Amino acid sequence: MAKTKPEIQGSINLILDYKKGTRPLDETVERLGAITGLSPSVAESFLRNMARENVYQFPTKKTNAA
């Protein structure tokens, strides 16, 4: 089995934690930048375009036409 670099494994775990909703965006951006060397704007853009598993869309309320 291939060995995974700790930096890669750490960044994967960090992204998965964010995706599950157990880590906030600002903390994830900061840590991802520290691990990978990405700028905060690139890390934030990457994460904001990712679907999160703990976010639900509520249906919009329909108004009745009188």
Could you tell me the pLDDT band of residue 66, with boundaries at 50, 70 and 90?
A: low
Evaluate if pTM is beyond 0.75. no
Instruction: Give every CB contact of residue 43 below 8 A, 6+ residues apart in sequence.
Output: 28, 29, 32, 33, 36
pLDDT tens digits for range 20-63: 889 999 999 999 999 999 999 999 999 998 877 766 677 887 77
For residues 29 and 33, what is the distance between their CA atoms, to the nearest angstrom? 6
**pLDDT computed for residue 7 by the predictor:** 87
